[in-house]
Structure 1
């Protein structure tokens, strides 16, 4: 959908579940003392880590209420982040990441993460078919990984981080029988809640649509070098006796506001989403250049009698609508600069480089 169509819309108002639960309950029994006849383990023997499912807090909400809260999250880019914040609070996530499918790179990478270092957040890129446990999760199974199975995930973490990981849990989110997201949990903050498995399965049954792609492929990028692209677009505008409009925008304010509200947000995923949104909104009337990080230059060539101030207002409204729930501001400073070029290609090139 193009910018003006979208703006007009804006203008109008295996390891089975039973097995995991039994292990979680067993771990709980061992902590509270177990049967009186049970003999204590030798002091020198280090007990195995309790399953992660048994490490969550005694939940303040039921599985039914969690399902209701997840269903109440409105669709959009902010939906997975709101889901992660909800699960963080309900489950006591201390070291976890919510991975979503990146259609551009064909990997599952973090949208949000907590408790992992920068290297691990960068390395957490799981390709489809990454390993056997990932494949089990991709088939819709909740998977716990411990002991000799952990090294299959070593490459996705820094050495320091991996040395402290004793177990992992993969919680899959499916939509139309396809894996659209994955909650990877390494540590939960509080101890012992038998209902944790029920809560996780509740999230599995209801969260998939929030992470589903809209089916729209990423907008294709022009393969011509910027100088040639400018020359071709200017010639096209001259043939119609109109100006080529260049608009420089900064995404700094949008990214700052989003990061302030959701510190766990992976800012790079939002940045790429905003770039893709601009390309979709300008489809048919303009192109997007990225001369430097967080700065976009829009090359508007398909509008007769273009009105840059009106175009900017519509673009700002459209972008804010795309990330509603993540940034609640009614206005945002994109620091716009505008240049209209009719014949001086060097003027356009200087603007693009500056």
Structure 2
């Protein structure tokens, strides 16, 4: 049986290959050549940060630079909001701000990437969709001053809120749906009139909306979300699998998988990205791709265990190869970073929990 036949099971719509291709979408260009010419833009963005007092925004130059990067060949995939944030941070001199992204399957927006905010504010910034709609009450940029700032008061620390007399919100839409919102707390942008902010946003918002939709929204909307279980559920999961194995004469399979190499590669490329957001995206994607054959048990950090029954059509090595390749493409990872894995003994695993 060839590679394609082993990945494509009789019910092709539910095969791991079909799931992977559905999430991947059209083939993406290898961005390595572009990276060699331009360097890693997101990594460079973390260096030489300055305060807004010492900088100003040349709106024309900023728009040209933004459009050049947004239209570039590099496709950041699922982490496109973090990539966009780094571009905006660099060219608009955002020294304090965040990009809020709708959480998959939830009516709430949380910070995927931040700079210059205290830990309390980063923790609190989980904003319901209804509040986001109130903040983004008009098509275009929004400035929050006076009592309008109170919309954000519950989501910021007392110190952070008291320091910000004017806050800008730049929403990014696709088909009239808010995909992300850039909140700016400190930047020369805050000195600009609202009509200038509108022109600035209009110049790149459409392309940014496509980037966010194609990179993140589309892959996650291609299939339902799957729950990632904590390792405390392992005894129940393994007991259930043993019962099934006894009735079907199949072997129980446990695989320990480490996402840390891939996780660290992405973190280096996206220094502003929230670590927990990235880890949840990686775990959720793995759980989704393996859902028909394995239950994913999160061990902590970037480690997880796949628990399931041996399948004659799809061996574990092949599934992990598919999983690794799909993660590479969905998260725009360069260079190629393979998944590390090893088989586990069920009884030993249960003793170590």
1:338 counterpart = 2:343: yes
**For 2:125 and 2:56, how far apart are their aligned partners in 1?**
23
Alpha-carbon separation, structure 2, partners of 1:152 and 1:277:
33
Shift of 1:105: 4.1
> For the Cα contact (< 8 Å) 1:168–1:186, is it kept in 2?
yes
Question: What's the secondary structure of 2:136's corresponding residue?
Answer: helix
Counterpart residue number, 2:263: 255
Superposed, 1:143-292 pairs within 5 Å as 143-188=142-187, 196-212=197-213, 213-214=217-218, 215=221, 216-220=223-227, 225-292=233-300
Q: CA deviation at 1:193?
A: 6.6
Q: Higher Cα Rg: structure 1 or 2? A: 1
Q: Note if contact 2:81-2:180 (Cα within 8 Å) is conserved in structure 1.
A: no
Residue 40 of structure 1: aligned partner: none
Q: Is the 8 A contact 1:170 1:184 kept in 2?
A: yes
1:113–1:266 Cα contact (<8 Å) kept:
yes
Conserved? CA contact 2:262–2:337, under 8 Å: no
* Aligned partners of 1:97 and 1:113 also within 8 Å: yes
User: Which structure carries more helix by proportion?
Assistant: 2
CA-based RMSD of the aligned residues comes to 3.2
The residue aligned with 1:103 is 104
What secondary structure does 1:198 align onto?
helix
**TM-fit CA distance, 1:183:** 0.6
Deviation string for 1:12-58 (max 9, x for gaps)? Answer: 98xxxxxxxxxxxxxxxxxxxxxxxxxxxxxxxxxxxxxx9xx8511
Q: Distance in 2 between matches of 1:305 and 1:205?
A: 44
Deviation at 1:65, TM superposition (A): 6.1
State whether residues 227 and 284 of structure 2, in contact with CA within 8 Å, keep that contact through their aligned partners in structure 1: no
Question: Which secondary structure state, in structure 1, belongs to the residue aligned with residue 204 of structure 2?
Answer: helix
Given that residues 250 and 295 in structure 1 are in contact (C-alpha distance below 8 angstroms), is that contact kept between their aligned partners in structure 2? yes
Runs of 5+ consecutive residues of structure 1 not aligned to the other structure = 14-51
Instruction: Give the SS at the match of 2:99.
Output: strand
Change (3 A) 1:60 1:338: farther
User: How far did 1:319 drift?
Assistant: 1.7
CA distance in 2 between partners of 1:335 and 1:75 (Å): 23
- Output the CA distance in 2 between the equivalents of 1:265 and 1:255: 11
TM-score, normalised to structure 2's length? Answer: 0.74
Partner of 2:70: 70
TM-score by length of 1: 0.74
Alpha-carbon separation, structure 2, partners of 1:83 and 1:146: 25
Task: Quote the Cα distance in structure 1 between the aligned partners of 2:164 and 2:191.
Answer: 19
After superposition, the Cα gap between the structure-2 partners of 1:130 and 1:8, relative to the gap in structure 1 and judged at 3 Å, is: closer
Is there any run of 5+ residues in structure 2 with no aligned partner, and where?
1-13, 28-51
